[in-house]
Structure 1
């Protein structure tokens, strides 16, 4: 494929309208960063199939322009701060780029001349879409550049013969960079509702502590819990370098995870091995011993997460450099 040069035109970043998860936020972060680099980056909010598009000619008659369905208020209020304009028209020209999140591999067939960047914001979440759009051969039939958000995605892609991958990590907002001191924290364990079953069983073994599932809360409520609790526990699938462990750690929590997905890779969740549990149900007694020790010796355990926190603090700068090199 033709990689961008000084003649890069428009960069179109595909995103679901009103999407409010880690993936859509990362896409908006990319748009904001590219615009700070002087690039013509735009969000394109879609939930339509390719045959639903209307094609019209450009004013100069050189390139096709595809017109997308319009949405009222497609941007989540939390992402207005990124200030990325959006468009409903894509010009199919060779100097233009589309950025596709990992769940939209079928969009690789779109556009005859566009450069295509496929961003693996997760790996596990993409698999059903990859198979539905023709399997791994689809990536060989349609040329694209693969960007990865995690070491887990990079390693997994290599298992499918995709060796040329480029890092593009997201970052945690600075609003989380204000941890409370240990004497302001209560003996509370927060846990992700994804993979909650092991945590719920552990809660029965240690009822002396507060066990709080993170579900049905606003972002402000989650942030408040992170700042005033001692432990964040996550036994989910970790399909990518998830935000919640990073948000918890940088807010001052100690983090305990399983070893599934990205959690198995130190590059993605950079915490000492004693805080990662292979089988939280089989090793429940060991986990509870660790929890009790953290509650009693919080400051000592908190120091073990200093490397992870420093990495998180440097993510924004790293993302800026990666985006500059890629686009």
Structure 2
């Protein structure tokens, strides 16, 4: 069932993106022929209608439906293969060329954004990735009492082992004592979690808005349900990331009148598309067994490097100013994500 839902989301995203990106008709070798456009009735002068753009030939076969789906998912009219390499390595050039009018060659920012977001959530659904709080079942009163009573004993034993390890002259003995001490460290941490158990919960917020405050209270009673609602709503409201981000990018070039809000919107939308694809790649690599340290390093290094290259190429900014703007953009991105998650939480609380 989870795989079917993921596939459904992927196909939906491709078709939505295709609807934004594609023309109204496709040319096929076989189909009905007419002297008038079947869409708008204009007399045809060639293979395509000069008024609405629909192809002279249209198809009416069941196989053509599957062709359209595969075409939307895999091809994006062939533009995807022109777009992705530039998006990955020369995002600034892609942004600049699209803004300056090269539209037919590349997938539009919004179409690529929609497809990448749908693909990301389809991937999460396929592999069962989701956020959740730890088990909210409280330990028994007796278990908590036993843990509290045992903590001083374990701590004393741990201190003794550390002292023996420090005094040991034989490396083998010191290593054995170190392993025993590490095990006691883990035991001590587990005992502390039991003794000081607190249920996973969201922050206690009081806004003065009765309905929203009631939603926060419900979320604290069942935080995993609240997280599920947030994840379910994330792709529906993903477009809000663009609206939240554009003003921040505008601030970086507010005194440059040659750059329009449209330019910043293209920059943001292509950047968010890349970040979605990066999340997909890192998620799949983690699922394939790549170490967490390597994935964490990639997650920390690649986004700011990509932002820097996009700023340099899109706006022609000098190196030192591009570095400064990249640092500001990373901070703005953190604020944007915080606002977005608060928005999702508020939507879930009110819903």
Q: Identify the TM-score tier after normalising by the shorter chain.
A: under 0.3
Using the size of structure 1 for normalisation, the TM-score is 0.25
Using the size of structure 2 for normalisation, the TM-score is 0.23
Structure richer in strand, relative to its length: 1
Kindly name which structure, 1 or 2, has the bigger radius of gyration based on alpha carbons.
2
